[in-house]
């Protein structure tokens, strides 16, 4: 799969299946394109693999795409890329995988060429561990290659792309079209189109060869030329290209790549056990060539047992007591390696003698292993003076001037890295420049309040800020999903900010929707509406008088004292109707004073008869209250009182 990016890709910015917000393109291959996306439901980054549109109508490709999801989903192993979801959005079939920032093994090989035996063992061990889980689950990968081995920035190593996986017992022929990559196809796949667990082992062996030798074992201008060599030739030892490869690793590669499947490890678990035995044999570092020759010359031949005197191309062996019991397979490989080493000792002695004669030190530091040195990663987070001292103590030349770079992870004024990059191997004499942190780079962000949640997440990411995983939802007068407010560095950035730095955390408050109107509903109706909105309604209730809401219906919620959030518990306020008032004692009072007292009490008067109406309207200053109905007691506020008036 080829890494690429494009601003014109129509999927970038699209929301897939209402859940996955596509942010950028990671890579594009023959069957599908992989995008970096945000899972809005779980607030995490994921990789979304979308099948090419022109393949959507091809049922065979579509079935193979779905098979990848099913095969990977059956596996739960730290060395296998997790598959979270699979589905169809309009015309696009997609699957959702965990996102692993980092590089592929292919990119590592392109950058460094041959790897060290230790690096090769580490990577092969992780690949075989994941592959062993697949084989145990009855799955054959069938497309193992460096492009499908992911090396995460945090050190994890995982196998991905199970698009060609099949049941291990199916042994299904592929027909005329060979599936997988030619450079890693086993002879039986080339000649008969049949694969089982041993075909995966062959691919692992080819990858180990490539890691150790820095190149593939077979070359050709046409793919079929390479396929012919796989079918008819035996893979040579990687030490033919890289003499520093230990003989034990040579034998392991040759075992894994045997042309006859019966002569290979039967599955990944068997090869993993053998790799670990081999690693135990190669546990300590290789002595210098002169020391090795001295041991060969001085120690009596009768005492030169495998465990005591063999020098294992980069590591000295441990004693049996140190390594523990060794498997029969390891013993066989070690015996083969010992034979190859004995045949090579004369050549080694001659080389060293010639090197010493020509100036051993000059060879070592001019063209041999001593010509290179690895920049230690330990200088990161040191002060520049301490880092300079450590590098110069290793013989690395350091530039007088430092480079200043922004860094999210490294505090200001400490070393953030080096140029060339820390961890890389350089020739002696190469000048290394220290990169000193300026701290995070300044960044700005526009207004977030009023945006949709997805748009706000994209804006935060574009500004190289970090979204707080805990997004607060609260009910408001805005539609669900609209950003209400945002904070960063303990300041309100709802309207945007120019005082932020890359890596700052932004916290969002998002609307959970508008609360339903419940005034005038029965308690049962209000409870149903509120629970549908996501609130919990308490069995307790409060009651209050209301001049406007009918008795025994809901007035409102009891004031919660702050914003309401989904799953909060609320209390209903129920109406007791209008508040009762005491009828004032107005019999015998003049009508003007009596009328005011009735009004102050919230009562309404009505003239008793026509005579009272006439007196009340025409001669209010003379009229006196003679009788009222009801005569006394408490009545609901707003009640009508009949008043009989006389002329005094």
- Strand ranges inside 224-314, DSSP E: 284-285
Coil, helix or strand at residue 212: helix
Which residue in 345, 225, 228 sits closest to 294, CA to CA? 345
Residues paired with 51 in a beta bridge: 32
Identify the DSSP state of 435: E
The sign of the dihedral angle between the CA atoms of 583, 589, 590, 592 is: negative
Q: Is 89 a catalytic residue?
A: no
CB-CB contact of 197 with 210 (8 Å): no
Identify the DSSP state of 369: G
- Strand ranges inside 438-578, DSSP E: 442-445, 466-467, 472-474, 483-488, 491-492, 497-501, 505-511, 536-544, 554-557, 569-575
* Burial label, 22 (beta-carbon count in 10 A; 0-12, 13-18, 19+): buried
Report residue 386 as tokens. 């301490």
Cis peptide bond N-terminal to 630, omega within 30: yes
Measured CA to CA, the distance from residue 133 to residue 539 in angstroms comes to: 53
Residues paired with 635 in a beta bridge: 581
User: Residues 6 or more apart from 490 whose CB is under 8 A from it?
Assistant: none
Measured CA to CA, the distance from residue 50 to residue 88 in angstroms comes to: 9
- Catalytic: which of 17, 91, 143, 413? 143
Measured CA to CA, the distance from residue 558 to residue 572 in angstroms comes to: 6
Which residue in 399, 396, 289, 295 sits closest to 348, CA to CA? 289
Measured CA to CA, the distance from residue 437 to residue 418 in angstroms comes to: 11
Report residue 44 as tokens. 């995490």
Measured CA to CA, the distance from residue 52 to residue 28 in angstroms comes to: 9
Q: Show which residues are catalytic.
A: 143
């Amino acid at each position: 799969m080829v890494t690429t990016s494009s601003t014109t890709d129509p999927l970038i910015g699209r929301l897939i299946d209402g859940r996955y917000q596509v942010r950028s393109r990671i890579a594009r291959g023959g069957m599908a394109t992989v995008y970096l996306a945000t899972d809005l439901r779980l607030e995490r980054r994921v990789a979304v693999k979308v099948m090419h549109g022109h393949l959507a109508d091809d049922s065979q490709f579509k079935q193979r795409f779905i098979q990848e999801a099913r095969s990977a989903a059956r596996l739960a192993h730290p060395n296998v890329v997790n598959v979270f979801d699979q589905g169809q959005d309009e015309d696009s079939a997609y699957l959702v995988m965990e996102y692993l920032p980092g590089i592929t093994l292919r990119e590592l090989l392109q950058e460094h060429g041959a790897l060290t035996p230790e690096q090769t063992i580490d990577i092969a061990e992780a690949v075989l561990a994941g592959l062993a889980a697949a084989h145990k689950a009855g799955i054959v990968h069938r497309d193992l290659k460096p492009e499908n081995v992911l090396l995460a920035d945090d050190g994890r190593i995982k196998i991905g792309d199970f698009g060609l996986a099949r049941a291990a017992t199916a042994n299904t022929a592929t027909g005329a079209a060979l599936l997988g990559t030619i450079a890693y196809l086993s002879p039986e796949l080339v000649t008969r189109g049949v694969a089982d667990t041993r075909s995966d082992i062959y691919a692992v062996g080819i990858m180990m060869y490539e890691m150790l030798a820095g190149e593939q074992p077979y070359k050709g201008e046409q793919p079929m030329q390479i396929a012919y060599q796989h079918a008819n030739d035996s893979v040579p030892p990687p030490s033919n290209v890289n003499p520093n490869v230990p003989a034990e690793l040579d034998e392991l590669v040759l075992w894994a790549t045997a042309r006859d499947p019966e002569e290979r490890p039967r599955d990944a678990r068997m090869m993993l056990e053998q790799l670990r035995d081999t690693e135990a044999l190669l546990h300590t570092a290789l002595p210098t060539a002169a020391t090795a020759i001295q041991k060969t010359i001085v120690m009596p031949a009768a005492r030169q047992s495998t465990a005591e005197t063999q020098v294992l191309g980069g590591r000295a062996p441990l004693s049996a007591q140190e390594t523990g019991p060794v498997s029969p397979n390891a013993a066989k490989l070690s015996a083969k390696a010992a034979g190859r080493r004995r045949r090579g000792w004369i050549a080694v002695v001659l080389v060293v003698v010639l090197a010493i004669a020509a100036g051993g030190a000059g060879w070592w530091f001019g063209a041999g292993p001593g010509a290179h040195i690895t920049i230690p990663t330990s200088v990161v987070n040191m002060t520049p003076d301490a880092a300079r001292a450590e590098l110069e103590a290793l013989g690395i030349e350091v530039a007088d001037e430092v480079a200043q770079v922004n860094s999210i992870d490294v505090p200001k004024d400490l070393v953030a890295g080096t140029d060339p990059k820390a961890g890389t191997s350089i020739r002696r004499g190469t000048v290394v420049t220290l990169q000193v942190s300026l701290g995070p780079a300044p960044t700005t962000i526009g207004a977030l309040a009023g945006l949709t949640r997805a748009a706000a997440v994209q804006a935060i990411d574009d500004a190289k800020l970090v979204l707080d995983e805990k997004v607060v939802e609260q009910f408001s007068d805005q539609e669900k999903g609209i950003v209400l407010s945002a904070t960063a560095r303990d300041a309100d950035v709802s309207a945007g900010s120019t005082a932020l730095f890359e890596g700052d955390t932004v916290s969002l408050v998002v609307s959970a929707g508008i609360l339903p109107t419940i005034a005038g509903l029965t308690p049962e109706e209000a409870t149903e509406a509120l629970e549908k909105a996501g609130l919990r309604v308490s069995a307790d209730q409060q009651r209050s008088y209301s001049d406007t809401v009918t008795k025994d219906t809901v007035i409102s919620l009891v004031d919660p004292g702050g914003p309401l959030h989904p799953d909060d518990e609320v209390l209903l306020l129920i109406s007791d109707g209008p508040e009762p008032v005491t009828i004032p004692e107005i019999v015998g009072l003049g009508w003007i004073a009596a009328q005011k007292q009735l009004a102050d009490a919230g009562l309404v008067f009505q003239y008793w008869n026509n005579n009272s109406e006439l007196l009340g309207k025409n001669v209010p200053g003379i009229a006196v209250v003679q009788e009222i109905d009801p005569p006394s007691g408490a009545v609901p506020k707003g009640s009508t009182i009949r008043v009989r008036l006389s002329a005094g």
